[in-house]
Amino acid sequence: MTSNRRALLVLNTRAKPAREAAAGVVVDLQAAGFIVLLAKDDASGWQEGVPAGVEIVQANEQAADGCEVVVVLGGDGTILRAAERARNSSVPILSVNLGHVGFLAEAESEDVHAVTDAIVDRRWHVEERMALDIRVFDASKEVMRTWALNEVSLEKAAGARMIDVLVVVDGRPLSRWGCDGVVAASPTGSTAYAFSAGGPVMWPEVEAMLLVPLSAHALFARPLVVGPSSVISFELAEWSECLLAADSRRTYDIKGSNRVEVRRNPVPVRLARLADTPFTDRLVAKFALPVDGWRV
């Protein structure tokens, strides 16, 4: 069988179960006429050797160009890496959880073959998730720009004193915090770092951004939810230096007097879904919430 259908495979190569599952996915997709692609970083970590016929591509935001789907085998960290690979082409991401929580994953490890069958038959739909646009300014000059699916954090260096940051929303000053850091999250990221820092969970369809201070020494230091058209700015005191992390993957040193702006990114991340599972059910399952006795 010949076909021009292409799929990019992204996996946690450090985990043997992921490598074993990936080998099966390659076999299933190639049998259906797919060309399976693998980024160089994943290929180099595949201890048993990359399966025959798999094409190796550059590990960058163009890796998924020409593909109809990105297949992920791993946990949430692997999914975030897959989002980087699919960024240029907006290819949907279909993930199988082989990690711990796997909050973004669509299926569990025992469903791998069902997932490949669904890919072959195109039995999935796309859910768009809001992403963040992050810009760093030195005075009026933009010096860095990146994006995030979950969150962007500004944190003091290990062992350093707290940072001093003025929070500005839509051009108006809100509060100055002496703190260990701040997190700005999307609805998707509300169940990640922001949740651990005491922020609320937001349903994915909510169009908003979440702002959470980290260990702020201030009377007013509560998590805040702002509208999707708002711009959140963090203005650092001259002596404050910290680390900016986008999705805990792309990191940058931010010096004092810099300004960091966070707004809604016009390009969403596209997740492939096999079923319309209510977010409430996903929340209960992933966090093992107690609902015993509830009557269906």
Can you spell out the DSSP letters for 220-231? ----EEE-TT--
Q: Does some domain include residue 1? A: no
Same domain, residue pair 281 and 160 = no
- What domain count does the chain have? 2
User: Which pLDDT score is estimated for 3?
Assistant: 61
Q: Which long-range contacts (CB under 8 A, 24 or more apart) does 35-38 make?
A: 35/3, 35/4, 35/5, 35/6, 35/7, 36/6, 36/7, 36/8, 36/9, 37/6, 37/7, 37/8, 37/9, 37/63, 37/64, 37/67, 38/8, 38/9
Would residue 170 show up in a list of annotated catalytic residues for this protein? Answer: no
Q: Where are the alpha helices (DSSP H) in 147-200?
A: 193-196
* Rounded Cα–Cα distance for residues 94 and 92 (Å): 7
Q: State the Cα angle at 18 between 26 and 91, rounded to 5°.
A: 60
User: Which pLDDT score is estimated for 1?
Assistant: 46
CATH of the domain at 14: 3.40.50.10330
pLDDT mean values, one per 10 residues, the chain (296 residues):
82 90 94 96 89 94 95 92 94 87 76 90 94 95 96 88 94 94 97 95 96 91 95 93 94 91 97 90 88 76
* Rounded Cα–Cα distance for residues 80 and 25 (Å): 20
CATH of the domain at 227: 2.60.200.30
Same domain, residue pair 145 and 185 = yes
Same domain, residue pair 142 and 56 = no
Strand ranges for 62-180 from DSSP E: 69-74, 93-97, 107-108, 125-138, 141-148, 151-156, 163-169, 172-179
Q: Domain of residue 110: give its range.
A: 6-124+274-287
Nearest alpha-carbon partner for 198 in 186, 212, 184: 212
User: Which pLDDT score is estimated for 107?
Assistant: 79
Given the residues 42, 76, 180, 247, the one annotated as active site: 76
| pTM of the complete model | 0.91
User: Which pLDDT score is estimated for 296?
Assistant: 62
Burial of 21 (0-12, 13-18, 19+ CB in 10 A): buried
Q: Does some domain include residue 60? A: yes
Same domain, residue pair 24 and 115 = yes
Listed in sequence order, the residues at least 6 apart from 195 whose beta carbon sits closer than 8 Å to its beta carbon are 201
Same domain, residue pair 145 and 118 = no
